[in-house]
Amino acid sequence: ILKMTDLDLAGKRVLIREDLNVPLKGGKVADDTRIRASLPTIQQAMQAGAKVMLMSHLGRPTEGEFDPAFSLAPVADHLSHLLGQEVRLVSDWLEGIELSEGQVALCENVRFNPGEKKNDEALAKKMAALCDIYVMDAFGSAHRAQASTHGVAQYAPTACAGPLLAGELEALEKALDNPARPLVAIVGGSKVSTKLTVLESLSQVVDQLIVGGGIANTFIAAAGYNVGKSLYEADLLETAKQLRVAAQERGGDIPLPVDVVCGKEFSESAEATLKRIGEVTEDDMIFDVGPETSKHFAQILKGAGTIVWNGPVGVFEFDQFGEGTKALSLAIAESPAFSIAGGGDTLAAVAKYGVSDQVSYISTGGGAFLEFLEGKKLPAVAILEERASQ
C-alpha cells in the first residue's frame, strides 16, 4: 500500500482519518492514548506544509444527527493543548474548509452525517472532494467499512496509509505472519463466544495459547472440573475440548491452571481463597489463576519468541484477584520476546502494572485488533491495497 511518508504533502489538502474515539468524563478527555498515538502523523503533515483536515468518529450517536454529547469539542481542546496550537473544530466541514499551509482543523464527528455508517457513496464522494490526499491512519476503525474509512479512500485523488496505521500493521504482521517462535498468545475475557473466532484462528498458528477469565473457566469445565458458580459457557464445552485437542495434535497446547483464586461473590471486598483446581466447590467463583499457574505461564512467556496479548487472566480491577494478570504482565516485561498488546482491558492492565514501556508494541485497536487476530482482512486496509494496485 501507498504510505503517507512516500508522498510530498507540501501545499496539499490532506484529509486524515484518525481514531480519536476516546473516553470522556465531565466534558474532558479521560484517556488520551489514542490522541497521542495520532500526534506524530498530524505533526508530520503539518511540518510538511500540508493543509491538514482531521476526521474521526466519537462514540455511537444516533446516525445522522448532531448531539452535543458526542461532539469532538473536548478532543479539539485537548489536541490544541498537545500541539501547542489552536485546532479549530468545524461543524459544516463537508462544505469545505479554508486552511493555509501547516494549519490544522478538526472536522466534527463523522457520524453526525447521514450515510457515514452505511458507507454512502454520495457522502464518501463529498469527503473525497475536500482533499488532494486522503490518509487512513485510524487503525482502531480499520475494521469498519464506513464512508470516512472506506468509501472516501475509493474516490479520493490519492489514498494512502498514515504512519500509525502502517506501524500497527507492521507490528501485527511481524507477530503473526512470520513470528519468531515459540509464538505464545494470551486470550482472556469473559466469554468464549465473543472470542471464538480469535481462539480458533490463533490455535492454528500459536505454539501455546494461554486462556484466562471466563474463557479459561469454559476450558476448565471442558476438562471435567467443577467450576462452581463461575462464569462459563455450558454450550461451548465441546468446542473448547476440540480446540485443545487440535492444538495438542499440532504439537502446541492450551495449558490449564493447576491452582485458582476463588471468591464467593463478585465484589471489591470479596475474600480471596487459593484452591487447587480439583477443590473448587459449588458456591465458588474462579476470579484469577493461582501462583503455581502464574509461575508456569510466566515461564512460557519468558521462553517465547513472540507474545500476542488480548485480555486479562483475572478480575484485576480488584487487587486480590489481580496477582495472575500482574505476574503475566511482569513476565512479558522481562521476556526478550517481541510482544504486542491490544484491547481496552489489556491496556488498563499494562498501565496498572507499569509495563507500558516494556511491551514492544501497544495497539490502539480494540475491535480492529481482534479482527486482525481472527485473520480477517480489514476493509479499510483492503481498499488501500486495491487503490495501490490500480
344 is catalytic: yes
From residue 365, alpha-carbon distances to 61, 309, 340, 346 in Å are: 20, 12, 11, 11
Do the annotations mark residue 59 as ligand-binding?
A: yes
**DSSP E strand boundaries for the chain:** 13-17, 24-25, 28-29, 51-55, 88-90, 104-107, 133-136, 158-161, 183-187, 208-211, 259-263, 273-276, 285-289, 306-310, 338-341, 361-362
**Grid coordinates standing for 376?**
480477517
The nearest distance, CB 100 to ligand 3PG, in angstroms, is: 30
Residues 306 and 205 sit within 8 Å (Cβ to Cβ): no
Do the annotations mark residue 13 as ligand-binding?
A: no
88 is catalytic: no
Task: Give the residue with the Cβ less far from ligand 3PG, 144 or 244.
Answer: 144
Task: Give the residue with the Cβ less far from ligand 3PG, 63 or 268.
Answer: 63
167: left (phi over 0), alpha (psi -120 to 50) or beta: alpha
Q: Which of 191, 229, 295, 352 is catalytic?
A: 191
Residue 210: beta bridge partners? 186
Residue 185: beta bridge partners? 209, 308
Do the annotations mark residue 346 as ligand-binding?
A: yes
Q: Which of 27, 96, 278, 344 is catalytic?
A: 344
The nearest distance, CB 232 to ligand 3PG, in angstroms, is: 26
The nearest distance, CB 226 to ligand 3PG, in angstroms, is: 36
Task: Give the residue with the Cβ less far from ligand 3PG, 42 or 301.
Answer: 42
Q: How far apart are CA 253 and CA 246, in angstroms?
A: 9
Do the annotations mark residue 228 as ligand-binding?
A: no
Q: At what angle do helices 291-302 and 323-334 cross, to 10 degrees?
A: 20
Do the annotations mark residue 276 as ligand-binding?
A: no
Q: How far apart are CA 33 and CA 222, in angstroms?
A: 38
367 is catalytic: yes
Residues that bind ligand 3PG (CB under 6 A): 19, 21, 60, 140-141, 144, 366-367
Neighbours of 154 (CB within 10 A): 17
Do the annotations mark residue 21 as ligand-binding?
A: yes
**Grid coordinates standing for 342?**
491490544
17 is catalytic: no
Residues 139 and 365 sit within 8 Å (Cβ to Cβ): yes
Task: Give the residue with the Cβ less far from ligand 3PG, 243 or 381.
Answer: 381
Task: Give the residue with the Cβ less far from ligand 3PG, 157 or 367.
Answer: 367
The nearest distance, CB 140 to ligand 3PG, in angstroms, is: 4
Q: How far apart are CA 150 and CA 384, in angstroms?
A: 9
The nearest distance, CB 19 to ligand 3PG, in angstroms, is: 5
Do the annotations mark residue 19 as ligand-binding?
A: yes
Q: Which of 13, 34, 326, 387 is catalytic?
A: 34
The nearest distance, CB 89 to ligand 3PG, in angstroms, is: 19
Q: How far apart are CA 173 and CA 328, in angstroms?
A: 23
Placement of cell 503455581 in the chain = 292
Q: Which of 28, 181, 367, 377 is catalytic?
A: 367
Helix (H, G, I), strand (E, B) or coil at 252: coil
Please give the backbone phi and psi of residue 28, each rounded to the nearest 5 degrees, phi first: -125, 160
Catalytically active residues are: 34, 191, 344, 367
Binding residues: 19-21, 34, 57-60, 111, 144, 195, 317, 343-346
Q: What residues form the annotated binding site for substrate?
A: 19-21, 34, 57-60, 111, 144
Q: Which residues are annotated as a binding site for (2R)-3-phosphoglycerate?
A: 34, 111, 144
